[in-house]
Amino acid sequence: MENTQIVFTEPWKVDVQHGSIADRRLEGKQALVRKLYTLISAGTELACLSGLESWFLMPGVPGYSAVSEIVELGPEANGFQVGDRIYHHGNHARYEVVETDGFCLKVPNGLESRRVPFTRLATVAITAIRSSRIEVGDYVGVSGMGLVGNMASQLAKLQGGNVIGVDLSESRLRMALQCGLNHAVQIGQGSVKEQIMAFTQGEGVSTMIEATGVPKVAEDALDWVKRSGELILLGSPRGEYQTDLTNALNHCHLYQGGDLTLKGAHEWRYPVMPNEFVKHSIYRNSKVVFSLMEQNRLQIEPLISHVVKPEEAPQAYEGLRFRKDDYNGVLFDWQ
């Protein structure tokens, strides 16, 4: 059985490799799956491709969001059948062996396959909403209208917020408006603070979700959060940045400075699988996202910019790196 996989061989080098899967007897609750679609997580995968993520070793196969079809089952894989579609944290390879008692969810019959991998980034985004104090009628800002920021905006609106998106890219803001964003602010087109204050009647946003991972963007956002509001770090901060930390901290410490709350919203704050002592888990969040997708309350189709063959992987990563206005949601079609 021939396998194809996308491999990061060295910094900024993407290779498509072909080989064969060795014959093996599946054990216990294992399943052999054939990918249908996998989604590129641009922020994480470009960071891995740069060689700056110590946990990703090269050569290595990237990717962590897949919808697949089960082609073979181990003797103890109860509750699953050959032919089932499953959502799992799968990599960019045509075939993979997974544990069905791990993170492995059956896909609802009515959910289109190519939308399923977006569940992964939606559950990243939902962490910011779970961590927030957003209530009906609040003004919410989101910086960064990539996939995660866009979905955080949609989820914040479902929570009852009036959402203001901030981005450099006119096309990403336009796409976010198509997905239901209330207001768009383009960086470089006038004062961001003045525009946000105009939208919020001079008060600022109650919650600011920082989805870019750029430290300076987080610091700048402190100026347009209202008194006793919150700044939520959704994007993982990357890169060196030098600033006056005392000024930033006084936004949190001093009443005159805003008395703001700074929060982290990394998805792994929740357990992967359900736990009777914790309300939320990545598994539960994924099922919630499935439901929102089925009800068309979470818009996915506008986020899909490219559906490509695995052989086109080098061009896809180049596009995500250098043509951010054109490349956004990139799916590999393994069929």
Average pLDDT, the chain: 95
This prediction has a pTM of: 0.93
Q: Which two tokens stand for residue 302?
A: 């506008």
Domains of the chain: 2-120+272-333 (3.90.180.10), 133-264 (3.40.50.720)
In the predicted structure, residue 60 carries a pLDDT above the cut 80: yes
> What residue type is assigned to position 245 of the chain?
L
Please provide the distance, in angstroms rounded to a whole number, between the alpha carbons at the two ends of the chain.
15
Residue of 216, 211, 209, 221 lying closest to 252 (CA atoms): 221
Q: Would you put residue 274 in left (φ > 0), alpha (ψ -120 to 50) or beta?
A: beta
In the predicted structure, residue 53 carries a pLDDT above the cut 80: yes
In the predicted structure, residue 239 carries a pLDDT above the cut 90: no
How far, in Å, CA of 330 to CA of 335, rounded? 15
Residue of 291, 285, 290, 292 lying closest to 271 (CA atoms): 285
Question: What are the pLDDT digits (tens) for 152-208?
Answer: 999 999 999 999 999 999 999 999 999 999 999 999 999 999 999 999 999 999 999
| DSSP β-ladder status, 95-99 and 304-308 | unpaired
How far, in Å, CA of 59 to CA of 9, rounded? 4
How far, in Å, CA of 119 to CA of 291, rounded? 11
